[in-house]
Amino acid sequence: MSGKEYYISNFCTIRNGCVFKNGKLIYKDITSESLKDFSKNIYKFMELNYSKFHKMDELCKLGFLASEVVLQNEENVDEDTALVFSNRASSLDTDRKHQHTIEDREQFFPSPAIFVYTLPNIIMGEISIRNNMKSENAFFVTETFQPHFISNYSEILMNTGKASSVICGWVDLDSNKYDVFLALLSTKGIRRLTKEELSKLYNQ
């Protein structure tokens, strides 16, 4: 594919109780008993002050925190920053919670605050609100992270002028098993964007 050269400006991985920024461990918490506590501890560690965070479901919290890491001290993003996310389980973690509220017809109290999170793209809405990003969003569901597809699609968005930069990656949560990898792609940086590089960074 022809086009400009793009770079992986920043990336963040949240996995096994650890948060990495650009490959370096920045936070570790293997003692939290729940994912909720783990996310809250990262929130505190990052000294965030954003009350909407506490209302998010667990999938959104993870994606939100990774986006905060990726965008920390980053001045090259504007409202044309696109979001291209993917995962395996969609919003199944919250789907199960909503299902639980409607399991019993005698105790049938579906909650709007839960239901609204039964769509995986809500996470991109949350990040857009936080950063005033008014751009392209797409949420893909695939069995595993597809660096080839995701980098191709992100390049298309930048090549066609539909986005100035892209935050792309993988935000998956299923029965407390989570795996998060977000990367900021733009025209600036030192790591050239290739599918091999994106794959390498995801797997490291």
| CA 31 centroid distance within chain | 23
Alpha helices (H) in the chain, listed in sequence order: 35-45, 58-71, 92-101, 112-115, 122-131, 147-159, 195-203
* Shortest Å, Cβ 159 to another protein: 7
Nearest partner of 178 among 99, 89, 117, 104, judged by Cα: 89
- Of the candidate residues 26, 35, 48, 138, the single one contacting another protein (CB under 8 A): 138
* Shortest Å, Cβ 6 to another protein: 14
With CB under 8 A as the contact rule, which of the stretches 7-15, 18-26, 153-161, 192-200 interacts with another protein?
153-161
- Of the candidate residues 159, 164, 187, 199, the single one contacting another protein (CB under 8 A): 159
What is the CB neighbour count within 10 angstroms for residue 20? 20
Q: Is 96 in the site for another protein (CB under 8 A)?
A: yes
Q: Is 121 in the site for another protein (CB under 8 A)?
A: yes
**Contact between 159 and 75 (Cβ < 8 Å):** no
Q: N- to C-terminal Cα distance for the chain?
A: 26
Q: Which is it for strands 81-87 and 137-141: parallel, antiparallel or unpaired?
A: parallel
With CB under 8 A as the contact rule, which of the stretches 18-26, 51-59, 68-76, 195-203 interacts with another protein?
51-59
Interacting residues toward another protein by CB under 8 A? 1, 40, 51, 54-55, 79, 83, 88-90, 92, 95-96, 98-99, 101-103, 105, 108-113, 115-116, 118-126, 128-129, 131-143, 146, 149, 152-153, 155-157, 159-160, 162
